[in-house]
Structure 1
């Protein structure tokens, strides 16, 4: 896949970054023995239970269980995505993030385009302040009640009338003109005779990505021309089905965002910010997509959709609900706010103020109520046929939900409404199976039970924990670990860990965890990394080697018992007889 960050670079980054420095600039740390502590930034507490280990390059809260690497901390604390966290850490230590294309050739950097889009934003802001015709734009913004502070925070500007203002200001070379064209700021004339400015005589709203980089613009016309609002086209750095206007500004204004309010347009976002509601965002001329929702839910647990109360608003709300269903995992909440007819967030908040508007938000319909209220309006619940119809129209909607508690509760509610036993309903509509994201099967790191069902202490788990906390122990094993023939749960992971460390590049707990970030075993490795291990420094190597030897003996004992058990009922093969004799000889040798 084009644009992948090479694994060797992630290894190098994690090995070079100091997690203490990363966290301390955001959450002041205090030295406590080998580690550092603080009150946890992820939950309220008075006594510090948040610990940062420079040795592991790992943080863990004993109060709420939050844990991770420097990359994970930025993702959780700053609400960054993985790639953004990588780029942020790399810039802090002066590294440039390489990319790989499918043919292993580096992909083209979009940094020149980002730089030019920033110049466009600065140009429009300068035009708003200095252009001789900007008074019309200033008057419009004042009429809408916008302060200079809000205009500054959102980078609002002005594209003056004319066909070549931007070309003349920033298109000083053929290369610059091509970049402006690529960024959607210029348009080719139909006859091919040249280029002209896309945005003219418009209030300009820069659209910023999660890192605050200007990637596109929305323009509001000042005259009577159409369209009233004009967005940038799709470009290499702007994909309207993924970006949200105001999300970056909301994250900058509110440190611990709890909810996002999805409104229709730029002016709604800015007008709400003027009344200190700083958590509004807007889609960019499209319906709310799954990608929009996933992006929002990585930042907040609650999303409130705000729509006009007319027919168009109700239809848009239902589309939003259908798109939200596949991402409604546990811990996520979606609600729906319908405004009085003829009102939008901009006009309504000016009439009733922030407090009354936020009461409306707090009273918004939750997704389950909205879904069933609408469906009940379409059927006659007094008739058997109506209740059957309810089940039929609800079935494809519930099938979109991810398997889990919320899906189960929604199905239970349908059972109560329809008067059908919940177990019978589940069998009729396929239980909890849905088309949404399914939980991955987790690899359990535990030894197999013996025939009596007893679990012996997990030496596999202990060996993995030792290696995870002291990766250098892998170099004491040599190329032949002797684990190849052992058939126990967790052995393949242990062998892979040893191989990864021995191959070089991975020298810390954090680096190992990042290698397994997106794999099912990663969750278990993170849990093991959080487990205190009371072991003297000098004893770690011998403990690890002894554990490996113990695993080999344990497997040999299990294998010997299995062959003896099989021998009671059937004849062993020649190879099995030889193997059993060898196992007895090895047992006798151990007891000499």
Structure 2
């Protein structure tokens, strides 16, 4: 039997957007993501996934659920199998408990907790190291920015982490890449005498580290990242994305740089919407993650040969993800600068001014291709077309693809139809429109409270389950939510929705999921005041029911049958408003 607390914790760990996107490619649409529903045939996307509420709902067929529900329905798995599948992705073991026991200990240590402890240790060591502090100050970083990014320091020595982990030679530390075992079987720390930059996943959990030497040659390479682990795959993660998301949303764009020092330096100067790849070229998975956050992506590279090579790889990897609404640009800094040095010299205004002059993807691709060939000769134009062929083939955006074909044809001195015939290009597939949502209906009081609690579960702490009328259709669901949150204040919307399985009808759960996704988190909505008003109505209705029950009792048995408390309630309702005050 899988403990309920583990199911809730697992839903807190996994990101439903990542879970669904591996099976059904998602497209960002406002605050949510959409796709054509995998559970019924449709040509326009009505399947919606909420990253904030961590559940999905199809406005076409009504399919709904959490990450667990999606894995069950999409892959045809049972509940236990779905939990085990998600736990494997999260890098944790599934605990078991007997039906008669309250909770069983975990089979394996929590790898996320191991990384958290290591990060706390490194941060503590930074405070003890004047040399590391001076290095960071020399790079222009303040204490506030170091705290924001949880920067730490791995001291010199072979086994400093032994002071943190009594079971230093356990498999857990090597699994997450904190320790290395050599050929002689000796275990030692991977990171030594380095400034440490924690790498977070999209839910803010530490999954890896980047370490930089403090000037000079140091011990090993200048930059050292965690190896591939169950928690960390460098081809999927972007440094700084978790912290940058609010600024990305506010600015409407994201800047992709090559190093974590670039991200930290830009943030120090007010450019907080930057992220970095982690020792690898930009991958399609990186692009997919970024397009979930914004449709304006600027790649910023050094102007040297290595930077231009990296930029071309990023452009080619981005091609399959390009849509007509996506804006991709490329900024090349002067050869003597990287983003860190540029923003320190020219400040935020200078950097953002440079961003405004970034080359659009189409301009960059055409300039790069045409620069490689002599377009004044037939042979050069032929080679130009051959180089353009795989690029044009990958594009699925109808309008963008059409414009690029026209430009390529123009430079090659042929017509668009000749380009399509010579390169055997198929017409780009049209992209359907998102279905318009139906207008909201005014909910009942209990339904409204249920919606508000699912949006912000912590509000349930001020509610009494006794206030919920026994006649309410949503009574069981609302009481369950109230009591669940009061028992565990850390529950989120997805955990509550999962917990309602078997308590509320599938019709109610489907309707509730659709109603919650209809709330646009961009709109100005005072949730707390709305909740307070609903609670006042609920308490007023409860008091009214109590009063009517007392009146009926008095009519049937007389005033002498009332208790002192009931008589006081009766007097309060009979007393004029001015006397009540």
Which TM-score bucket, shorter chain as reference?
Answer: 0.5 to 0.7
Q: Which residue of 2 is the match for residue 123 of structure 1?
A: 121
Q: Which residue of 1 is the match for residue 553 of structure 2?
A: none
Deviation at 1:320, TM superposition (A): 1.1
Q: Quote the Cα distance in structure 1 between the aligned partners of 2:86 and 2:222.
A: 43
For the 8 Å contact 2:55–2:66, the answer to whether it is kept is no
Q: Relative to structure 1, is the Cα distance of residues 114 and 279 closer, same or farther in structure 2, using a 3 angstrom cutoff?
A: same
Asked if 1:150 corresponds to 2:145, the answer is yes
Q: CA RMSD in A?
A: 4.1
Deviation at 1:410, TM superposition (A): 1.1
Q: Which residue of 2 is the match for residue 298 of structure 1?
A: 292
Q: Which residue of 1 is the match for residue 510 of structure 2?
A: 510
Q: Which residue of 1 is the match for residue 180 of structure 2?
A: 187
Q: Relative to structure 1, is the Cα distance of residues 167 and 323 closer, same or farther in structure 2, using a 3 angstrom cutoff?
A: same
Q: Which residue of 2 is the match for residue 382 of structure 1?
A: 376
Deviation at 1:123, TM superposition (A): 0.8
Asked if 1:399 corresponds to 2:397, the answer is no
Q: Which residue of 2 is the match for residue 346 of structure 1?
A: 340
Map 1:40-439 onto structure 2 (within 5 A).
71=50, 74=53, 100=81, 107=88, 109=92, 112-129=110-127, 131=128, 134-169=129-164, 171-173=165-167, 177-192=170-185, 194-222=186-214, 223-225=216-218, 226-253=220-247, 255-433=249-427
Determine helix, strand or coil for the equivalent of 1:337.
strand
Q: Quote the Cα distance in structure 2 between the aligned partners of 1:205 and 1:229.
A: 11
Deviation at 1:99, TM superposition (A): 6.1
Structure 1 residues not aligned, in runs of 5+:
1-8, 14-40, 44-64, 78-82, 88-96, 445-500, 518-592
Deviation at 1:104, TM superposition (A): 8.0
* 1:159-215 Cα distance to aligned partner (Å, 9 max, x none): 11111111221x2136x83211111001112201x3111111110000000000000
Q: Quote the Cα distance in structure 1 between the aligned partners of 2:395 and 2:411.
A: 19
Q: Quote the Cα distance in structure 2 between the aligned partners of 1:154 and 1:128.
A: 13
For the 8 Å contact 2:46–2:434, the answer to whether it is kept is no
* 1:320-372 Cα distance to aligned partner (Å, 9 max, x none): 11111111112112111111112111111111111111111110011100111
Q: Quote the Cα distance in structure 1 between the aligned partners of 2:434 and 2:254.
A: 35
Structure 2 residues not aligned, in runs of 5+:
1-6, 12-28, 32-43, 57-63, 69-77, 94-108, 436-500, 518-581
Deviation at 1:100, TM superposition (A): 2.5
Name the count of aligned residue pairs. Answer: 383
For the 8 Å contact 1:403–1:432, the answer to whether it is kept is no
Q: Quote the Cα distance in structure 2 between the aligned partners of 1:182 and 1:112.
A: 11
Q: Quote the Cα distance in structure 2 between the aligned partners of 1:144 and 1:106.
A: 40
Q: Quote the Cα distance in structure 1 between the aligned partners of 2:314 and 2:379.
A: 29
Q: Relative to structure 1, is the Cα distance of residues 442 and 157 closer, same or farther in structure 2, using a 3 angstrom cutoff?
A: closer
Q: Relative to structure 1, is the Cα distance of residues 310 and 75 closer, same or farther in structure 2, using a 3 angstrom cutoff?
A: farther
Q: Quote the Cα distance in structure 2 between the aligned partners of 1:103 and 1:74.
A: 22
Q: Quote the Cα distance in structure 2 between the aligned partners of 1:189 and 1:84.
A: 46
For the 8 Å contact 1:167–1:177, the answer to whether it is kept is no
For the 8 Å contact 1:121–1:206, the answer to whether it is kept is yes
For the 8 Å contact 1:263–1:283, the answer to whether it is kept is yes
Q: Quote the Cα distance in structure 2 between the aligned partners of 1:433 and 1:102.
A: 42
Q: Quote the Cα distance in structure 2 between the aligned partners of 1:104 and 1:271.
A: 39
For the 8 Å contact 2:45–2:432, the answer to whether it is kept is no
Q: Quote the Cα distance in structure 2 between the aligned partners of 1:104 and 1:282.
A: 29
Q: Quote the Cα distance in structure 1 between the aligned partners of 2:396 and 2:365.
A: 16
Q: Relative to structure 1, is the Cα distance of residues 426 and 231 closer, same or farther in structure 2, using a 3 angstrom cutoff?
A: same
Deviation at 1:105, TM superposition (A): 11
Q: Quote the Cα distance in structure 2 between the aligned partners of 1:278 and 1:104.
A: 35
For the 8 Å contact 2:302–2:337, the answer to whether it is kept is yes
* 1:34-92 Cα distance to aligned partner (Å, 9 max, x none): xxxxxxx959xxxxxxxxxxxxxxxxxxxxx9998783664799xxxxx99859xxxxx
Deviation at 1:379, TM superposition (A): 2.1
Determine helix, strand or coil for the equivalent of 2:394.
coil
* 1:269-298 Cα distance to aligned partner (Å, 9 max, x none): 111111000011111100000001100111
